[in-house]
Structure 1
Amino acid sequence: MNNIEVNKVTTEDVLEKVFNIRRIVFVDEQNCPPELEWENEDVSTHFLATIDGEPVGACRWRKTDAGYKLERFAVLQAYRGRKVGQALVTAALADLPGDAEYIYLNAQLDAMGLYAKFGFVAEGPQFEEAGIQHFKMVKKH
């Protein structure tokens, strides 16, 4: 049924599956410029979500000058509404180092409710990134 598994990416072939999901969701579906999509890959910790072994979602986190940033949450259209996004957020948060004080992300408007469930709160004005409206959200402990 809904056997969602989220695993940290450790091999190149699994990373390709992550990139493929992001290509479908961000570049094809949301028309993000490909050159904006592929950055900071080597300094990020990536995750792949699968349902019954089928790759369905991806995300990553990375350390920035500000703190720890969760980003590139993508779930294939056919699998949305099946708690894949929640599983990805849970896995990414659980993987952060213990000293991760400041955790933040840039949320697309329709994903803000998901992040709010995990204690993220919108801060600052709405802004556009890659042609899509976002709010910065910060995790409140």
Structure 2
Amino acid sequence: MRSHQLHVEKVSNQQDLEKVFEIRRIVFVGEQNCPPELEWEHEDESTHFLAFVNDVPAGAARWRKTEQGFKLERFAVLKDFRGLGVGAALVENVLADVKPSKDDYVYLNAQITAMGLYAKFDFEKVGEQFEEAGIQHFKMVLKK
């Protein structure tokens, strides 16, 4: 397998945010048929991340503070970069940025196919399965 350089950056400038939004458009709207109007919300109040493989944008994620706590959202990895650890690098970097204390409530809505990834970072499923944007999910909460 070809070696690859992977790194994740917190981004806020418009040029990098456009790359984040393009990755999400390709993955969520294009591949998963999510309605575009559901994809673009809470952008200004979120902290965004962009993952690179060999300096090419490969994945994106964000977190935001909600009334419940810290919500991790919109983890997306482009098809050509899946299986290279991009998703795990994004989760690791987002959690490092949030720096949750024992008292913080950190949660996400995980697509069923991604639950194994989040479980590796001590997230556990709570509640019943539900549909969001036509895709089955479980809420997952970071163990204290």
Shorter-chain TM band: over 0.9
Counterpart of 2:142? 139
Aligned partner letter, 2:10: K
Matched, 1:43 2:45: yes
Matched, 1:26 2:9: no
- State the alpha-carbon separation in 1 of the partners of residues 54 and 114 from structure 2: 24
Q: Is the contact made by 2:100 and 2:106 (CA closer than 8 Å) also made in structure 1?
A: no
RMSD of Structure 2 on Structure 1 (CA)? 1.0
1:10 CA drift (Å): 2.3
- State the alpha-carbon separation in 2 of the partners of residues 105 and 77 from structure 1: 22
Q: Deviations over 1:82-105 (max 9, x none)?
A: 100000000000000454710000
Counterpart of 2:127? 124
Counterpart of 1:6? 8
Match of 2:108 among 105, 109, 133: 105
In the alignment, structure 2 segments of 5+ residues that lack a partner are none
Aligned partner letter, 1:59: A
* TM-score of the superposed pair, with normalisation by structure 2: 0.95
1:52 CA drift (Å): 1.0
Matched, 1:57 2:79: no
1:2 CA drift (Å): 2.1
Match of 1:77 among 62, 76, 79: 79
* TM-score of the superposed pair, with normalisation by structure 1: 0.97
- State the alpha-carbon separation in 2 of the partners of residues 117 and 103 from structure 1: 15
Count the aligned residue pairs. Answer: 141
